[in-house]
Amino acid sequence: MNTWQIKNLFDVHGKETELNVEAGLFVDQFSQDAQPQTIDARGLTVIPGLVDLHTHLREPGREDAETVLTGAQAAVAGGYTAISAMPNTLPVADTAGVVEQVYRLGKLHQLCDVYPIGAVTVGQKGEQLAELTAMNQSEAKVRIFSDDGHCVADPLVMRRALEYVKLFDGVIAQHAQDPRLTENAQMNEGEVSSKLGLKGWPAVAEEAIIARDILLTEHVGSRLHVCHLTTAGGVELIRDAKKKGLNVTAEVTPHHLLLTDELAGSFDPVYKVNPPLRTNKDVAALRAGLADGTIDIVATDHAPHPQESKDCEWSAAAFGMLGLETAFSICYMTMVKNELMSLSELVDRMALRPAQIARYENQGEIRTGNRANFALVDLNSSWTVEPEQLKSKSKNTPFAGMELPAVIEKTFHNGALVFDRRG
Amino acid sequence: MKNLLSIDDLTKAEAIEILDTAVTLSNLSETGVKKFPTLRGRTVVNLFFEDSTRTRISFEAAAKRLSADVINFSAKGSSLSKGESLKDTAMTLQAMGADAVIIRHNSSGAAHRLASQKWIDGAVINAGDGTREHPTQALLDAFTIRRNLKNDQGDLKGLKVGIVGDILHSRVARSNVLLLSKLGAEVVLIAPPTLLPVGVDSWGTSVSYSFDEVIGDCDAVMMLRVQKERMEDLFFPTEREYSRAFGLTKDRIAMMKESAIVMHPGPMNRGLEISADSAESNKSVIVEQVANGVSVRMAVLYLLIGGATTRDLETHLGENK
């Protein structure tokens, strides 16, 4: 079982290679009694299974939008073998009980590793610290904590959280959004919002929190991870923090690498997302930041919503868009096709670096002895995004109808074939 | 022209056609022709998610004078206040066969959404969407300016219009900037910096923080309503301070050009953005704006669902005389 000999592959550097998997592990040589199934993967490239640190699975509570199962199915269709479930469920994942439930559902489905992210504060209310150690010591071994869509705005609460997670080498993933500067905000504040009459969401609301959190991190000597950077100014702040040698990491979403606030002019809420789509200048800065390593990783912020949450007027619609199934293609198109970075660098940002930040084991690299988590991708082929064909339970993709390069053909988790586009 | 969602939907020629049609209709009204059979058998729905008595009755009067059947559908006490979605409301109206839906909604882009999602086949007329646009208000304002200063002719070239007050939250301002610029007028926005949107420098207007410096150059000043709750959101310190710097007073009226006019889309906050004596001065055309609103809305309905042009109107009217 789960023993494969995969021939005629390219590696991420474009060199011909072969891959051997025995009993779910990467091996150099098969043992004598191994009976591998052979795959002729002519033309395909092998990449380590991708790792997402920002996923919304909606279970428990909003199973009409997504479940751990459908989210995991979407993940493997996108080449992911590890995803990180954000805590904004009903109830909020702020106790060992809830994180263990999500973790066990992931184990049960056996499609990919599902790691829960715990809430920083009780009910994501930003007031009282949740039982972080209990979540860390639970079966789910939570190491990343985030109040997700709610910024930990109170500087004292943020300071304590950063200090406290040093107990177990944890990291606080901050959704940087000053709440007072963004009350009822609908889209990026600038030229476009001024014309559309939609309430603006200034870049400074994001950057002010990032700047403060960097200072707090420096002061208490902890680990900070900044979720979904969207502004040129935010990239600069992270760049400076890294120059100082601080333990600050940052992510960018595929949609912020491609889409801009001009799309709000359609008033189609499929483009309504938190943090909002920004300007061309920001997109260019994010791409440059990802290419030079200032931005450590790509994270999807996969946010499924049922039809009725988007089939309405802009201000009534929910924030968020799907991401898992399109992430690799969007990043390949914006970063590799545009010659801003190599495939191996992109894979580093989408697999190994996130695994390192989260301390996920057996993820992010193809290494002898590791559990075999990888995907086969056809870089010379393309596909068209059809919402009805997506595995996610929801259909709110902003990329509908787009023809994208790079097709994920097969995904293997712990050596098991968990996704086969042709199967 | 299928819908009127934004002034951007109109070419300059189309905008002038609406104004010219409104002139014809208005002149006929003045000679005693009060009702035209043009829209007999057509159904016009006033779909008002937000209270607005003035705009609703203006559209209602316009539709009735064109002999349309008018259905008023407003939020209070209806399914709209019970959480029915815009989509379901639209599909209900579609099933009832509305030829035109006039929508007022507190969400920017709602009219656009209604039209672009094909939830209804009828024409969609934006009667104010959030803080985005209010195109018929801009048309009636342009009509009023043209009637007073251009003798109902052509465009607005050579005129300078000051729009004063809460630009940030004003759909009237957004539509007026687009239309007045399209018609060749020069627009100056006059407001405290807090009430001007970030990005206003891309609007193609000039901006002044000093009412006193620019009022003497304006051919028309358009005073915007300032909501008292803005003060609580820290947009200005007190009503009195706002009024001193940006209110229209008798002293400021005295600084205006001889021919200049004073406008206000209503409802007014007397004593805040405009003093009572300014509102009733001989420069004020505020009441005239209301009357012009009906003519302009008749023209819009006529051109959108009457399936005709101005020339047809004259033929039409000829037959009815």
**DSSP assignments along A275-336, one per residue:** SPP--HHHHHHHHHHHHHTSS-EE---B----GGGTSS-GGGSPP-B--TTTHHHHHIIIII
Considering A358, A382, A407, which residue would you say is the last residue of a domain? A358
Same domain? For A348 and A412 the reply is no
Q: Is the pLDDT of residue B116 over 70?
A: yes
**% of chain B with per-residue pLDDT over 90:** 77
Q: Is the peptide bond before B197 cis (omega within 30 degrees of 0)?
A: no
Instruction: With respect to residue A117, please indicate whether it lies within any of the assigned structural domains.
Output: yes
Predicted pLDDT of residue B315: 61
Stretch B115-122: mean pLDDT: 89
Over 90: is that where the pLDDT of B227 sits? Answer: no
In this structure, the answer to whether residues A205 and A258 fall within a common structural domain is yes
pLDDT of B231: 75
- Amino acid at site A19: L
Asked if B82 is an active-site residue, the reply is: yes
Polymer length in residues for chain A: 423
| pLDDT tier, B50 (very low <50, low <70, confident <90, very high otherwise) | confident
CB pair distance less than 8 Å for A197 and B112: no
H or E element at residue A226? strand A224-226
- Within 298-327 of A, beta carbons closer than 8 Å to B belong to 308, 311-316
Q: Which of residues 152-211 of A touch B (CB under 8 A)?
A: 186, 189-200, 202
Tokens of A280: 């061309």
- Predicted confidence at residue A78, as pLDDT, reads 98
Domain boundary among A308, A331, A358: A358
Is position A364 within any domain? no
What is the residue range of A197's domain? 46-358
Query: How far is Cα A176 from Cα A160, in angstroms, rounded to an integer?
Result: 17
Residue for token pair 């094909």: B118
Please give the angle made by the CA atoms of B77, B79 and B81, to the nearest 5 degrees. 60
- The pLDDT score that the predictor gives to residue B77 is 63
Return the closest-CA partner of residue B80 out of B69, B70, B91, B88.
Answer: B88
Tens digits of pLDDT across chain A (423 residues): 799 999 999 999 999 999 999 999 999 999 999 999 999 999 999 999 999 999 999 999 999 999 999 999 999 999 999 999 999 999 999 999 999 999 999 999 999 999 999 999 999 999 999 999 999 999 999 999 999 999 999 999 999 999 999 999 999 999 999 999 999 999 999 999 999 999 999 999 999 999 999 999 999 999 999 999 999 999 999 999 999 999 999 999 999 999 999 999 999 999 999 999 999 999 999 999 999 999 999 999 999 999 999 999 999 999 999 999 999 999 999 999 999 999 999 999 999 999 999 999 999 999 999 999 999 999 999 999 999 999 999 999 999 999 999 999 999 999 999 999 997
Residues of A with CB below 8 A from B174's CB?
195, 197
Q: Which of residues 49-108 of B touch A (CB under 8 A)?
A: 85-87, 105-108
Measured between CB atoms, does A231 come within 8 Å of chain B?
no
**A278-287, B24-33, B58-67, B239-248: segment of lowest average pLDDT:** B24-33
* Tens of pLDDT, residues A66-76: 999 999 999 99
pLDDT of B320 > 70? The answer is no
Q: Which of A194, A268, A311 is facing B198, going by the closest CB pair?
A: A194
CA distances to B83, B147, B265, B300 from B153, in Å? 47, 8, 22, 18
Phi, psi angles (nearest 5°) of residue A206: -85, -45
By C-alpha distance, the chain B residue nearest A184 is B107
Closest Cα in chain A to B198:
A190
- E-strand ranges in chain B read 43-48, 69-74, 100-105, 123-129, 160-164, 186-190, 206-208, 220-223, 261-263
pLDDT (tens digit per residue) in B5-15 = 999 999 999 99
B113 is a catalytic site residue: no
**Among B50, B49, B35, B57, CA closest to B85:** B49
Q: What tens digit of pLDDT does each residue of A331-378 get?
A: 999 999 999 999 999 999 999 999 999 999 999 999 999 999 999 999
> In sequence order, what are the residues at sequence separation of 6 or more whose Cβ sits closer than 8 angstroms to the Cβ of residue A55?
A71, A75, A83, A84, A85, A86, A300, A301, A302, A324
- What is residue B29's predicted lDDT score, i.e. its pLDDT? 86
Peptide bond into A60 cis (omega under 30): yes
**Residue B156 pLDDT more than 70?**
yes
Residue A171 shares a structural domain with residue A119: yes
Looking at the fold, whether A26 and A174 belong to one and the same domain comes out as: no
pLDDT score at B316: 58
Clarify whether residues A22 and A170 are in a common domain: no
Cβ atoms of A328 and A299 within 8 Å: the answer is no
* Residue B179, CA distances (Å) to A57, A149, B9, B16, B54 in order: 47, 40, 10, 10, 21
| pLDDT score at A400 | 98
Q: Please give the backbone phi and psi of residue A11, each rounded to the nearest 5 degrees, phi first.
A: -90, -175
On whether both A352 and A264 belong to a single domain, the answer is yes
Domains of chain B (ranges; CATH) run 7-134+290-320 (3.40.50.1370), 135-286 (3.40.50.1370)
| Nearest-5° Cα angle at A303, A102 to A345 | 95
Distance spanning both ends of chain A, measured CA to CA = 18
Domain assignment present for A171: yes
Structure tokens at B253: 């009226």
CATH of the domain at A385: 2.30.40.10
Is a pLDDT exceeding 90 seen at residue B307? Answer: no
A194 within some domain? yes
Q: What is the mean pLDDT of residues B242-267?
A: 97
Rounded Cα distance between B149 and B137, Å, is 18
Is A198–B108 a contact, with Cβ atoms under 8 angstroms apart? yes
Interface predicted TM-score of the whole assembly (ipTM), two decimals? 0.91
DSSP assignment letter at A345: H
- Within A140-247, where are the H helices? 155-164, 191-196, 203-220, 232-243
Does any domain span residue A366? no
C-alpha to C-alpha distance for B106 and B271, rounded to whole angstroms: 26
Residue A158 lies in a domain: yes
**What CATH number is attached to the domain comprising A195?**
3.20.20.140
Cα Rg of chain B, angstroms = 19
Among A61-65, A300-304, B48-52, B153-157, name the one with the lowest average pLDDT.
B48-52
B254/B313: higher pLDDT: B254
Cross-chain residue pair A194–B130, CB shorter than 8 Å: no
Please name which of B304, B288, B308 lies closest in space to residue B99, comparing C-alpha atoms. Answer: B304
- Out of B113, B199, B203, closest to residue A313 by CB: B113
Task: Sort A382 into a burial class: Cβ within 10 Å, 0-12 / 13-18 / 19+.
Answer: middle
**Do A215 and A338 belong to one domain?**
yes
Task: pLDDT band for B321, please (50, 70, 90 cuts).
Answer: very low
Exposed e or buried b per residue across B192-225, where buried means at least 16 C-beta atoms within 10 angstroms of its C-beta? beebbbebbeebebebbeebeebbeebbbbbbbb
Burial A190-218 (b: 16+ CB within 10 A, else e): bbbbbbbbbbbbbbebbbbbbbbbbebbb
Cβ A191–B199 below 8 Å, yes or no?
yes
DSSP character string of B180-199: HHHTT-EEEEE--GGGS-TT
Last residue of a domain, one of A304, A331, A358: A358
Task: Check whether B310 has a pLDDT greater than 60.
Answer: no
Q: What is the pLDDT of residue B163?
A: 98
Query: Do A326 and A200 belong to one domain?
Result: yes
Distance CA A283, CA A290 (A): 11
- Number of domains, chain A: 2
Q: What is the pLDDT of residue B75?
A: 72
Shared domain for A312 and A380, answered yes or no, is no
* Residue range B193-202, pLDDT digits in tens: 999 999 999 9
The whole-angstrom distance between A306's CA and the closest CA on chain B is 14
A 336-375 residues with CB < 8 A to B: none
CA distance B13 to B15: 5
Q: Would you state the torsion angle of the CA atoms of residues A255, A256, A258, A259, taken in this order, to the nearest 10 degrees?
A: 80
Report whether B131 contacts B288 (CB < 8 A). no
Shared domain for A40 and A146, answered yes or no, is: no
Mean pLDDT of chain B: 92
How many whole angstroms separate alpha carbon A316 and alpha carbon A273?
13
- Here the tokens at position B280 are 């009733």
Strand order from edge to edge, sheet including A80-85: A50-51, A80-85, A113-116
Residues A305 and A65: beta-carbon distance below 8 Å: yes
Alpha helices by DSSP H, listed for B101-260, are 110-116, 135-149, 171-182, 211-214, 229-232, 239-246, 250-255
Q: A111 with A411: CB under 8 angstroms?
A: no
Banded pLDDT at B117 (limits 50, 70, 90): confident
Domain presence at residue A377? yes
What is the DSSP secondary structure assignment for residue B248, as one 8-state letter?
A: B
CB contact set of B160 (below 8 Å; sequence gap of 6+): B185, B186, B187, B188, B217, B218, B219, B220
pLDDT at position B80: 64
User: What is the reported pLDDT for A296?
Assistant: 98
User: What angle do the packed helices B286-305 and B12-30 form, to 10 degrees?
Assistant: 110
Q: Measuring CA to CA, which residue among A400, A249, A396, A371 is closest to residue A319?
A: A396
Q: Report yes or no on A123 lying in a domain.
A: yes
Together in a domain, A28 and A57: no
Same domain? For A139 and A233 the reply is yes
Active site (annotated) includes residue A301: yes
The answer to whether B62 touches B301, Cβ cutoff 8 Å, is: yes
Whether pLDDT at B318 is above 70: no
Q: What pLDDT shows up at residue B312?
A: 58
